[in-house]
Chain A
Amino acid sequence: MGDTVQAGRTIAASPGLLIKGWGEETSVVFAPANARTHWISAEAASVLETLTDGGPVADSALDAGAETIDALLQAGLLRRVE
């Protein structure tokens, strides 16, 4: 299990993508592209939290929380850098 998002903290992981966690096993992420909120593992949230390059998810970021990241990719919330 990766790090959890710090309790009570909202992080902009990429432009407009908001993650909020409470130091628990799950976090929530808001994607303005479709105005939907998703419930994701803190592991995946932690991965998203580390993104600083404007949003695209590098393959190397998929080592942890891959299933959730894939779900976000399929939902069009993130774009994979090949």
Chain B
Amino acid sequence: MTTLLQSLGADATRRALRSPGGLLLQMGPFVARLATRIPAVSTAIETLYAAYPVASADTFVDFDVGVHRPASWRHWWQPQVVFSFEGQEPFNPLPGGQGFPLLEWGLNWCVYGICHQYLILHAAVLERNGRALVLPAPSGSGKSTLCSALLFSGWRLLSDELTLICPKQGHIVPNPRPVSLKNDSIDVIRRFAPQMRLGSTVRDTVKGVVAHFAAPPDAVRAAHQPATPGWIVLPKYVAGSPARLEPIERARAFMQLVENAFNYDLFGAEGFNLVGSVIDRSACFSFEYSDVHEAAALFARLADGQADGQEPTAH
């Protein structure tokens, strides 16, 4: 019997987060032990992880993490927060209001720094009709904005940030977590999807204004269902540009996956063959856009096989 965080209630969630055993949450293939005594961070976890299964106390824990106030007199006049991993504090403290974004960034760091059982790409990934759409891109390219628009347009979220590729089966493993929006994209997606439940807006972070919204419960429930690579799309937001999807050479797409991989070098020839097999099964495009409605419509046509493009070379 799976217990979801939302069924615990706010008080029990806060008690768990403050307890020595922490709160164990199943996040896709991983279990994280979360700990915090900061009310705003507790509230964000309650809200944005409401649909996630609570793992049992005897489960193997992949990440033991927390967000805390550093032990310093400074908190009296300028509160700060610090991320902890296995009792260590790998990053400098941040201003006190940035606790939840820091937790999310720290969890991302855990995944790409530790989980080398997967080839990990800096890429959003969604699924439709059983095929995965991989959007590899550096920060600032409009990847999360596009990903957000698509997940409110019939695509299943696998991740807005980290694509996990299983070396054995070659499929993509979901790891849906709260989606991070930044700066202007917050209002863009608010207008696009008024039903979105946005958490607190945090200003003056290293990435500007940041806000998270919860992964759709359907995506969380389907987190055990992998997807087959189907499309590799290199997105780029270009102000004023019509939505334009253009086929690209597969070798170029290959190199973009490598450029956006966190741990490709660790896999050696196996990584080369794995990326090659992902490319074999995918149609590859570059994509420019400025309007999320137009983009969502175009990707719906792509999923239905109506957009111009390549056919995969192998299945």
> What is the CA–CA distance of A28 and B276 in the complex, to the nearest angstrom?
9
- Given A22-B249, A25-B249 in contact, is the A39-B272 Cβ separation under 8 Å? no
Chain A residues near B258 (CB-CB < 8 A): 37
Asked if residues B276 and A39 are in contact (CB atoms below 8 Å), the reply is: no
Residue with the highest number of chain A CB atoms closer than 10 Å, among B250, B255, B280, B314: B250
Interface residues of chain A, those whose CB is within 8 Å of chain B, are: 7-8, 10, 16, 18, 20-22, 24-28, 30, 32, 35, 37, 39
User: Is the pair A8, B252 in contact by a Cβ cutoff of 8 Å?
Assistant: no
Binding site for A on B (CB under 8 A): 249-252, 254-255, 258, 264-265, 268-269, 272-273, 276, 279-280, 313-314
B229–chain A nearest beta-carbon distance, Å: 14
Asked if A8 and B313 make an inter-chain contact with CB atoms under 8 angstroms apart, the answer reads yes
- The contact of A27 among B251, B265, B268, by CB within 8 Å, is B251
Whether B265 pairs with A35 at a CB distance below 8 angstroms is: yes
Instruction: Please give the distance in Å from B191's CB to the nearest CB on chain A.
Output: 39
Closest 4 CB pairs of A and B: A26-B251, A8-B313, A30-B272, A22-B250
A37 to B273, CA, bound (A): 11
- B residues in contact with A16, CB < 8 Å: 269
Q: Tell me if B273 and A18 are in contact (CB < 8 A).
A: yes
Q: Given A8-B280, A8-B314, A22-B313, A28 and B269 touching (CB < 8 A)? A: no
Complex Cα gap A26–B276 (Å): 14
